[in-house]
Chain A
Amino acid sequence: MVNYLIRRLCLMVPTVLGITFMVFMLLALAPGGIGAGLAVSGGQMSDTSKAAQMQAYLEDRYGLNDPVVVQYLRWLGRISPVKFGERDLRTPIGDRVSAPREIVEPPMGWAFPVPPKPEVVFTPIVAASGGADQASEQIVEFKKLQREAEGARRAYIGSVRFFKDTLADYVREKGAPWTSRLEPKGGAEPDKFRDLEFGDPAKDANPKAAALKEAAADMHLKWAKAEETRQRALIAFRAKPYPESGIPIIPGVVSLDTPDLGVAFSKNRPVWDLIATALPVTLLINAIAFPISYLVAIPTGILASVRRGGWFDVGSGLAFLSLYSIPTVLAGVFAIGFLANKQYLGLFPVSGLHASGAESYTFLPYFDDAGTWHEGWLVDTLWHIALPILCLVYTSFAVLSKQTRAAMLENFNADYVRTAKAKGVSRKDVVMRHVFRNSLLPLITMFVGIFPAMLAGSVVIERIFTIPGMGSLILEAIDLRDREIILANTFMIACVNLLALLLADILYAVADPRVSYE
């Protein structure tokens, strides 16, 4: 059994890799690529505009200018619990701080020689033996250096973009055949112009020569600044203003750490934070909805099979199938329109999870001294999720109860049921001990399907009732093409799905002694 478990767990790794790789590639293949959600919108975008520079900065920041496979490998490195290289730091509130990234040297070094890399000598504040003041001073300094480095980097990336645009202008002035080497969108890739000779700009007839030289000089200046601030930030980082994250295996080379789900492009917040707010909502709704559907459907299925062909069997089958046939969208809209709308019954709230001001409620309901009813947080929440749960539950009865009924009926005619009757086992025990026990296997398959569904949430219902759960999160992420959220969701659901399948196989072995993994 243990061997089997280990083998199955090992097989999950390539499966998860395959799933995430396919999702990553699908995102990359989508029109606009991975960064489409980041595309700076608004008006006619001129190549030299600030918007283009902003775009360049964002692409650099999220690593979108690398090849897709490199991006995927980088994502894998983040998600992997085994980390290589320098360990991240963790702020007291749990945010991850990585070392400042390398800066790419300015392009066209052959024509515009790059000045030597600045050597920075810098002694950061170090909190010796944990003095609280000194520690906070160190953090303040590190944060300042981080900000400076980021600002300088941003300016440098912008200047590179500007240089490239100027180069394109220069090439355009030079005319054919040079213009054929320009990018289809109009920009210029410096590496394609290695044989272009730049003379003294004063003698160069090209009217853009001076501008190009100026752009190169500006770029070099900003590079030196970015490099210098980066090195400072790096030194401050290595002084460890925060504790290190994870457990080292080989210090400085390999360490173990929790998966890093990344920062959502669209919200500039860690994906884990977004999931941590959305997941409890979905879990709450599902944790109420699933037991309801099981507690109703399975006894109904059992009773229907015992009284096969009777009024209960026919009636429950008809009722559940009718419910099953009502689209959730329609039911949700009707529920809001008739039950929640103040112009009709107005019994339930229309949307959301809490009343405004629910944070100040007490947990349990109470009557105050004046005899006024205060509903409290718990009742308020249940009242808000009542309609969503109703809409989530009513369609699930049919499949579950029909499955139970079919599995029971199959076993009612089994020989061992006849044996049990001949032994003098009472009708109730025949049904529960012998027939139902043998009907568990198909139910287990259905049961483990719950777990991925719990994480995924119901897109339709959360949308209709404006509930900020996982379904809303993923839908919004797809709308905005937020790669990090989509990937994190896919990754989590894939893992939970695989674990649920493993759980099903284990439960099979528990439920049926004929199944063995020895």
Chain B
Amino acid sequence: MLSTATNAAATPARTTPILSVQDLAVSFDNGSGPRVQAVAGVSMTVHPNQTLAVVGESGCGKSVTAMSTMQLIPRPPGRFDRGKIMFEGRNVLALSEGEMLSIRGGKIAMIFQEPMTSLNPVYTIGDQIMEAILLHQQVGTEQAWSIAIQAMKDVGIPRPEERMKAYPHQFSGGMRQRVMIAMALACQPTLLLADEPTTALDVTIQAQILELLRELQRSRGMGIMLITHNLGVVAENADVVCVMYAGRVVEYARVFELFDNPLHPYTRGLFNSIPLLTTRKHRLTTVEEVVKDAQQFTLPPPGGAGLDVAASLGKLVPWWPDPPAGVKPATQSGEDEYALVQVAPTRWVGCFRTPEVAAHPSPSPDLDYRREDA
């Protein structure tokens, strides 16, 4: 049974999403071979003060989605095939380079996985933070200096006045990531894209950095798209989770609902592959074992408050590129066989596009929800 209805009542007045990715598809030229479809129809939303965790294995299109949001995909070889990315009422994919310059670093900021190499080695920390400030705020050098000092204080760097004149190589990894965050947040962005911000850090520093991000998010109300493949990080920090595979969203849900009851076999496979302290296993279950098991490809009947079309959707089968024999239902040939289907008021699962699904398209995933455990 779904446990969604119990949590749904907790949401306060709805906010409009800051970022709304709608059916985004990005492909890359592969020289001689066919184009590589890195992202093939992805939809997601980020609300103010919300953390959307985008989870998936390497190459599933998480980073490409985030980079597309800032038009940082090199084109060529990259190309936006279809879809929109709405930010503050404008489709950023249609903006000119000049318009993008004011959005990048100003309204949308990004932090990266490799703090060791993401800072320019030949400029001081101060220069690099101030560069962002001077680009986006109408202030003089002196004022930019004090804004940068404040930004460094905000991210908990001790003695910021001294550190402003230091070079990146004089900082530890954790401190550099704090500098990256200070740089990203100095211009008060409304959306932060955090592309695996803690992957290169050791575990205690990871916790510090994530705690810092949470605090800054609460004080500024900014939306965060947290790209990660660490499910522990997701469980601790995310409000909403978007699980991706092969350039598509396979499951989209609130964090606790997803962890309590994963619906897609791939999500289940991910959770099964995590070792648990309480159970002793001879060997861990792999994701492949789960998605090769035909019995996993079942979904509970869709339904829930306000989901009128649920009854007419027919039998839903979770989408998978090469499903086990006998699982794949009849789909219309020539069309994309994937569709993201709303199976409950707060849950979306990637399913095969049966004629019934095609006849009743689901709305894009949009969850205005924040966890309340903090």
Residues of A bordering B, CB below 8 Å: 414-416, 418-427, 434, 437-438, 511-514
9 closest cross-chain pairs (CB), A and B: A424-B105, A424-B104, A423-B105, A415-B117, A416-B120, A422-B110, A513-B167, A423-B132, A415-B118
Q: Is the CB of A418 within 8 A of B118?
A: yes
Q: Are A513 and B118 in contact (CB under 8 A)?
A: no
> A424–B110 Cα gap in the complex (Å)?
11
Contact A416 B117 (CB under 8 A): yes
Most buried by A among B118, B121, B122, B131: B122
Interface residue from B121, B131, B135 paired with A514 (Cβ < 8 Å): B121
CB pair A422–B70 under 8 Å, yes or no, is yes
**Contact indicator A415/B104 (Cβ below 8 Å):** no
Q: Answer yes or no: B81 CB below 8 A from chain A CBs.
A: no
Asked whether B291 is an interface residue with its Cβ less than 8 Å from the other chain, the reply is: no
Q: Is the CB of B72 within 8 A of A426?
A: no
A423-B183 CB under 8 A given contacts A415-B118, A438-B122:
yes
Q: How far is the CA of A421 from the CA of B136 in the complex (A)?
A: 13
The distance in angstroms between the C-alpha atoms of A344 and B108, with both chains bound, is 67
Q: Is B106 an interface residue (CB 8 A)?
A: yes
Residue of A nearest to B132 (CB): A423
Give min CB distance, A39 to chain B, whole Å: 60
Bound complex: CA of A422 vs CA of B100, how far in Å? 10
> DSSP majority for the A interface?
helix
What are the interface flags for B105-146 relative to A under an 8 Å C-beta threshold, 1 for contact and 0 otherwise? 110011010100111111110000001100110000000000
How far is A438 from B122 in the complex, measured between Cα atoms in Å? 7
Q: Which residue, of A416, A422, A437, has the highest number of chain B Cβ atoms within 10 A? A: A422
Chain B residues with Cβ below 8 Å from A420 are: 120, 131
Residues of A close to B109: CB separation below 8 A: 422-423
When C-beta atoms are compared, the residue in chain A nearest to B169 turns out to be: A514
Q: Are B169 and A427 in contact (CB under 8 A)?
A: no
The residues of B with any CB-CB pair to A shorter than 8 Å are: 70, 72, 97, 100-106, 109-110, 112, 114, 117-124, 131-132, 135-136, 167, 169, 180, 183-184
Q: B131 to A425, Cβ gap below 8 A?
A: yes
Residue of A nearest to B103 (CB): A424
B118 touches A416 (CB 8 A): yes
Residue of B102, B114, B117, B122 near A424 (CB, 8 A) is B102
* Most chain B beta-carbon neighbours within 10 Å: one of A414, A423, A425: A423
Known: A422-B105, A422-B109, A423-B183. A434 touches B72 (CB 8 A): no
Cross-chain contact of B118 among A419, A425, A437, A514 (Cβ < 8 A): A419
> B172 to nearest A CB, angstroms?
15
How far is the CB of B152 from the nearest CB of chain A, in Å? 16
A45-B103 Cα distance, complex, nearest whole Å: 92
Please measure, in the bound complex, the distance between the C-alpha atom of A418 and the C-alpha atom of B111, giving whole angstroms.
10
| Structural contact, A438 and B120, CB atoms closer than 8 A | yes
CA distance A341 to B135 in the complex (A): 59
Q: How far is the CB of B132 from chain A (nearest CB, A)?
A: 4
Contact B119 A424 (CB under 8 A): no
| List of A residues within 8 angstroms of B101 by Cβ | 424-426
> How far does the Cβ of B196 sit from chain A's closest Cβ, in whole Å?
12
A421 to B104 Cα, complex, angstroms:
8
Instruction: Say how far A411's CB is from chain B's closest CB, in angstroms.
Output: 10
CA–CA, A512 to B109, complex, Å? 28
